[in-house]
Structure 1
Amino acid sequence: MKLGDPRKKSGWVMLQVLLLHLLVQSVHSQNSRNKLNITNPGQSIPGLAVQLRRVSNEKVVVDNGIIQVTFSSPQGLITGIKYNGIDNVLDDEIDDRGYWDVVWYEPEKALEIDKLEGTKFEIITQNEEQVEISFTRTWTISKRGSLVPLNVDKRYIIRTGVSGIYMYGILERLEGWPDVDMDQIRIVFKLNPKKFDFMAISDDRQRSMPSMADRDNAKILAYKEAVLLTNPKNPMFKGEVDDKYMYSMEDKDNNVHGWISSDPPVGFWMITPSDEFRLGGPIKQDLTSHAGPITLSMFTSTHYAGKEMRMDYRNGEPWKKVFGPVLAYLNSVSPKDSTLRLWKDAKRQMAEEVRSWPYDFVNSEDYPLSHQRGTIEGQLYIKDRYVSRLNIYGKFAFVGLAPCGEAGSWQTESKGYQFWTKADRKGRFIIENVRAGNYSLYSWGYGFIGDYKYEQNITITPGSQMNVGPLVYEPPRNGPTLWEIGVPDRTAGEFYIPDPYPTLMNKLYVNPLQDRFRQYGLWDRYADLYPQNDLVYTVGVSDYKRDWFFAHVTRNVGNNTYDSTTWQIIFNLENVNRVGLYTLRIALASAADSELQVRVNNPKSDHIFTTGLIGKDNAIARHGIHGLYRLYSINVAGDLLSVGDNTIYLTQSRSVGPFQGVMYDYIRLESPFTT
């Protein structure tokens, strides 16, 4: 090419333009960081070095150029979060706005709440990439009665390029310490009510929300959490019911939830990348976000389970557990963009955190890294000769490792770690990143009753890879099915759920196909549908989807008075084995202060079975379609039955209030065993 060739001049010009473009990009990127403004959620954010400064003996500030977080010292409360031009995304008009707490009590004593405030501040890690700080408190016998008997280590990590705060805690009690019960452990964020007014907890559960002031001026309904909005500032909420339990979620789905501010467009999200430190298995329900605006990270609670799931320590039992890390994540978009992009980006960030679990940046010997964990895999089959002569795949069954116990004990186990997965359509499963320790292997799933437990305990060691091979579960079964009601899925969701009262609705759930059971007051709809006589279900004629009320509740007869109720199942037998034993299987999805009695062909006779007093899961009042699962296998003597029509009477005999009752999961009558 000759000197002065126009193609060469054109190339030089293009190179100059490219260099200028890169320079402008660099300046724009630096300016964006200085303004703490992320214009494109989901992009890789070039961060500044993380800086920590001790402002005073009472305040610590950590700043990564995107987010600036202020902690009280040595208490370890989060008092301020500066982001995207908002001086504090938290409610700075109250004292408690970013904190941990534990609900606890000594046996037979009053309930207490401990905010787990630290007494010592320490820097664990400090470099350009991240800062990890610790706020600790050591318990002594002199603190008995005033503080929960735990050693506390609250940790916070802020990393370069990440617009959020990683949070975890190490809680410990030593051998010989006093007896104690703990009902709840959580992190609470109370956001700036002048900014955040839109809540999102799933793709189809998101809306503008009433304020706490609206709730304060509302009419309290049957319990303090549920209010009828009578004079809200925004008239669109007038006549609606708001209740924090309406926004509960199963833990398997509770990975990201939070709030959106429209001016400026900012999101605040709680991201939970792992359930290993939660209790009660994958379908344990708990709170998420609710009016306030409030966002929670629930580590443990007795919600939808009752005291059967409380953490109770006796006889000086020692214990230690790591809760978290979880991530309080903030994002923003340009004012020209839809704020719903913030939800989409929060889900993207959640997926990234899940992929990164276990984190490699946590600096604690109590938090094992990936190479210090193990893996287990296998394949589950179901053996039910009355369904198939061949073993069938445990299709989409839940399979999990939890502390050693009896079959099904995982749902009330409250002190250890649990690791769950869902098998594929051929029953194959793999559980990765399991902490070293001793476990039982459990399973249950859609379409079959009961709980499976592998006959041997499982020991996971660092780096281990275990294959337990084919596992075969034989669900409870004595004979062929004569009839069945419902689907064994541990919920009452397939049964008839009535329309809510028009004056007691939450418009988030007006779609008849979407979480219909979350409306307030559905328990009282039973008395409207059955004002005098109780439910009668005729096998072969009735349809459980429209004829079986979702909850077996008391009947409201007025003047704050309630009657017990008796449901009937009518079925026809062409012949009867009078010397054999029939088997009635009743699987309950929920029970609240109830007693279920069973009678056959004579409602006045002595019952052939009673559960006794069971249940404190409060799922009926708290808009849950299930609580704790219970399975009963009841022998029915053949001489109690007749050729022709027969009736089983199911009586829920407790009737002090509106929330006593059970939810059925599945009912089946089996004929006597045949070869």
Structure 2
Amino acid sequence: MARSGLRLRIRENHVILENGILGVTISRPDGLVTAIKYNGIDNLLETTNEESNRGYWDLVWSSPGSPGTTGTFQVIRGTNMEIIVANEEQIELSFSAKWDTYLQGKLAPLNIDKRFVMLRGSSGFYTYAIYERLEGWPGFNLDETRVVFKLNKNKFHYMAMADNRQRPMPSSEDRLPGRGEQLAYPEAVVLVDPVEPKFKGEVDDKYQYSCEDEDLKVHGWICFNPAVGFWQISPSNEFRTGGPLKQELTSHVGPTTLAMFISAHYGGNDLVLKFEEGEPWKKVFGPVFMYLNSAKEGEDPLSLWQDAKQQVLKEVKSWPYSFPASDDFPKSVQRGSVSGRLLVKDRYISDDYIVGNGGYIGLAPPGDIGSWQTECKGYQFWTRADEDGLFAINNIRMGEYNLYAWIPGFIGDYRNDAVISISPGCNIETGDIVYEPPRHGPTLWEIGIPDRCAKEFYIPEPKPNYINKLYVNHPDRFRQYGLWERYGELYPSDDLVYTVGESNYATDWFFSHVTRKREDKTYESSTWQIKFKLNIVKATETYKLRVALASANRADLQIRINNREQNPVLFTTGLIGGDNAIARHGIHGLYWLFNVNIEGSMLVEGDINTIYLTQANATSPFQGIMYDYIRLEGP
């Protein structure tokens, strides 16, 4: 191994992996990363932290039937270390722990095998893990699992996760009582006396740096002296839960960087893995790549971000990796592919087929229509259709799947009823996939764009004392803290009224239908109105109201027509949702579509009709919904 620079040194309580570029120290047999040596820096990790709080896998679990999305936090510690590969090209180490009945109630009932891989000539290292449950084991909930790295706080002060989402960051000390003042929830703090005066008055909230999984390929931190970057690269989403629109945390004050695999963020309890008594399961998470880079003296340290993006392209091209030694991670030749063309048939838009340009097409475990967005236990494989509607999904693991799709610009979800079986080397041609979105009759009017988010609606400026400077004059201004409070300021007594043909949803439709705070600090529901005129009404026919929601959080949407006191109501969703996207600046959570029949006899011809939308559940500021799109269809 010396000729290639690869070297494995085994100490009593640690092992050290080196390849001439970097060195990684891992505790033995726990499998906790305690030190990363690179570019003259002895340890990129935070040395004032305990060794168990630097670089680690963890999870949150709870008893079966537990409500909510929280539970017992567990740093995953191995009890056995094994050298899997050690040659001139690769070192791969296993740190595993097996579960037994005597651990019931103490540790999550899982066998976990954590792997760390270092390759010759590679400026970084990989980690992945195999989680397994055996038949007969007790049921439990798996709320969250991830990989965490806590970097040296004296060196890493600049965070980057996108071209337009990067900035110098406050320190963890700035969030402490006296320096920071907690806002409506613990994660959000306004900095009143930060160590660095330039951050004074800003809000720090880790949820402001969330990202959709489809865009979450790289994020990390830059040290300016010397110029060093630490990046977490995820070349694939196959092992993440909830599909391409699932949102996850990235990096945040600490300095901390995360690789999230399972979480209830922006989905709530629907995204908690729930295992029945005796249910077997196995899944591979990762590999993810911890990439290190450096700039020469005189070069712009921010060039490290551009280099990290280039490294992402190399990692994606190399996926699925050929090097993982576990048989549970299938190589490229063991995988299959699916291709075809996505079309849309909507006779009220065109007599011809419409190409599904930009449509999302994916394979996920068999389930109901739209079930992919809450699917957690299996693997998912997604792509986007090109301008001709053509798509190809490659490198699919063996197994059985449904083909799912949805197309921006159209409501609803597609699912191919036939189960697709993937075998090694298969190339399945689906031919033309035709999605017929829900349609009752011609569009009489519509509000918004059917794109599963509320971004096109009116998003107010934040209060001056709730600013994150990154999002000033930024396309993602919805990530500013406290925007839900602005509704009560804009509508202190009367609620929103939208007049079809006169109002503009970009300026007149508030992005979130929330509660209003009373003077006595309690909350009241709000009722929005949509006013419209119909020159002709067919009294014996049925009209259809389509209401697509981009988010719902402990909400009860009640719909009435032409009578604000209508009882019983025309329609109610009942209590729905728990995605908490309002508080977490997410602009969307889980997607909901409701189809409401309106009898023509309930409508008025030639005069103003009014639809009343009441969000009736009102005990907190975060109960509410975000609309995606509303449409009234004629008979």
- The aligned amino acid for 1:349 is Q
Worse-matched range after superposition: 558-567 or 208-217? 558-567
| 1:308 alignment partner in structure 2 | 270
Mapped partners of 1:191, 1:49: distance in 2: 26
Give how far 1:455 is off: 2.3
- Within the candidate set 501, 504, 507, 1:540 is matched to 501
2:285 matches 1:285: no
**Aligned AA for 2:485?**
D
Letter in 2 for 1:202: A
Match of 1:135 in 2: 95
Alignment of 1:189-204 (within 5 A): 189-204=149-164
Match of 1:265 among 227, 238, 246: 227
Q: 2:609 corresponds to which residue?
A: 646
2:284 aligned partner, one-letter code:
V
Kindly report which structure 2 residues correspond to 1:49-60, keeping only aligned pairs within 5 A, or say none: 49-56=5-12, 58-60=13-15
Give the one of 192, 204, 212 matched to 1:250: 212
Amino acid across the alignment from 1:359: Y
Measured against aligned partners, the alpha-carbon deviations of 1:193-215 in whole angstroms (never above 9, x if no partner) come to: 00000000000000100000011
CA distance in 1, matches of 2:424, 2:557: 47
How many Å apart are 1:575 and its aligned residue?
1.3
Query: Structure 1 residue 455 and structure 2 residue 455: aligned?
Result: no
Deviation of the 1:49 alpha carbon: 2.5
Shift of 1:658: 0.4
Q: 2: distance between equivalents of 1:100 and 1:492?
A: 34
Partner of 2:44: 89
Question: Quick one: which of 536, 546, 555 aligns to 2:516?
Answer: 555
Single out whichever of 655-664 and 334-343 deviates more from structure 2. 334-343
Aligned to 1:99: 56
2: CA distance, partners of 1:552 / 1:335: 52
Which of residues 12, 32, 35 is equivalent to 1:80? 35
CA distance in structure 2 between the partners assigned to 1:639 and 1:614 by the alignment = 30
2:579 matched residue in structure 1: 617
Name 1:5's counterpart in structure 2. none
**1: CA distance, partners of 2:445 / 2:65:** 47
Structure-2 residue corresponding to 1:28: none
CA distance in 1, matches of 2:549, 2:631: 12
Q: Structure 1 CA distance, aligned partners of 2:505 and 2:519?
A: 28
Please report how far the alpha carbon of residue 166 of structure 1 lies from its aligned counterpart in structure 2 after TM superposition.
Answer: 0.4
- Shift in Å, 1:335: 2.6
In structure 2, C-alpha distance between the alignment counterparts of 1:71 and 1:285, rounded to whole Å: 30
Q: Which of residues 635, 638, 660 is equivalent to 2:623?
A: 660
CA contact (8 A) 1:179 1:316 kept: yes
The answer to which of 210-219 and 105-114 deviates more is 105-114
The one-letter amino acid paired with 1:586 is V
Cα distance between partner residues in 2 of 1:648 and 1:108: 39
Question: Which among 104, 109, 116 is matched to residue 149 of structure 1?
Answer: 109
Residue identity matched to 2:391: F
TM-score (normalised: structure 2): 0.98
Which residue of the other structure, out of 425, 439, 443, is the alignment partner of 2:401? 439
Q: Provide the secondary structure at the position in 1 that maps to 2:438.
A: coil
Once residues 238 and 295 of structure 1 are traced to their aligned partners in structure 2, the CA distance between those partners, rounded to angstroms, is: 24
Residue of structure 1 in register with 2:555 after alignment: 594
The Cα of 1:108 is off from its aligned counterpart by 4.9
Q: Please state how far the C-alpha of 1:562 moved relative to its aligned partner.
A: 1.0
The yes-or-no answer on 1:634 pairing with 2:596 is yes
Residue in 2 that maps onto 1:409: 371
Q: One-letter code of the match for 1:365?
A: D
Q: Specify the code of the residue in structure 2 equivalent to 1:642.
A: V
SS in 1 for 2:387: coil
The alpha carbon displacement at 1:407 in A equals 1.1
Tell me how far 1:556 sits from its aligned partner: 1.4
Tell me if the contact between 2:64 and 2:275 (Cα under 8 Å) persists in the aligned partners. Answer: no
**8 Å contact kept, 1:197–1:261:** yes
| Distance across 2 between alignment mates of 1:653 and 1:272 | 41
Q: 2: CA distance between counterparts of 1:108 and 1:569?
A: 41
Q: 1:319-338 deviations in whole A, cap 9, x for unaligned?
A: 00000000011110113110
Indicate the larger mover: 323-332 or 103-112.
103-112
Q: Secondary structure at the match of 1:456?
A: strand
Checking the alignment, whether the CA contact within 8 Å between 1:163 and 1:330 is kept in structure 2 is yes
Q: Which residue of 2 aligns with 1:14?
A: none
What letter corresponds to residue 161 of structure 1 in structure 2?
G
Match of 2:121 among 154, 157, 161: 161
Q: Choose 1 or 2 for highest CA Rg.
A: 1
Q: Give the secondary structure class of the aligned counterpart of 1:360.
A: coil
2:362 is matched with which residue: 400, 413, 416?
A: 400
AA of the residue aligned to 1:59? H
Counterparts of 1:32-71 in structure 2, within 5 Å, are 48-56=4-12, 58-71=13-26
d(CA) in 2 for partners of 1:102, 1:238: 34
CA–CA distance in structure 2, aligned partners of residues 111 and 619 of structure 1: 21
Q: How far apart are 1:48 and its partner, in Å?
A: 3.7
Post-superposition Cα deviations, 1:216-259, rounded to whole Å, max 9, x if no partner, equal 13000000000000111111100000000000000000000000
Q: Is the contact between residue 49 and residue 129 of structure 1 (CA under 8 Å) also seen in structure 2?
A: no
- Work out the number of aligned pairs and report it: 625
Please say if residues 596 and 610 of structure 1, whose CA atoms lie closer than 8 Å, have aligned partners that are also in contact.
Answer: yes
Which segment is superposed worse, 264-273 or 105-114? 105-114
Q: TM-score, normalised by structure 1?
A: 0.92
Matches within 5 A, 1:319-334: 319-334=281-296
Look up the SS of the partner of 2:287 in the other structure: strand
CA contact (8 A) 2:160 2:221 kept: yes
Instruction: Give the match's secondary structure for 1:157.
Output: strand
**C-alpha RMSD over aligned residues:** 1.0
Displaced runs of 4+ in structure 1, greater than 6 A?
Answer: none
Q: CA deviation at 1:128?
A: 1.2
Give the drift of 1:597. Answer: 0.2
Which residue identity is paired with 1:580?
A: E
Deviation of the 1:577 alpha carbon: 1.0
Show CA shifts across 1:314-353 (max 9, x none): 1311000000000011110113110011101111111100
Question: Secondary structure at the residue paired with 2:627?
Answer: strand
1:130-155 deviation line (CA, Å, top 9, x unaligned): 10000000000000011000001000
2-structure distance, mates of 1:100, 1:266: 24
**Does the CA contact (< 8 Å) of 1:585 and 1:667 recur in 2?**
yes
Secondary structure class of the residue paired with 1:213: helix
Q: Is the 8 A contact 2:71 2:143 kept in 1?
A: no
Q: Deviations over 1:612-638 (max 9, x none)?
A: 000100000000100000000011111
Which deviates the most, 180-189 or 552-561?
552-561
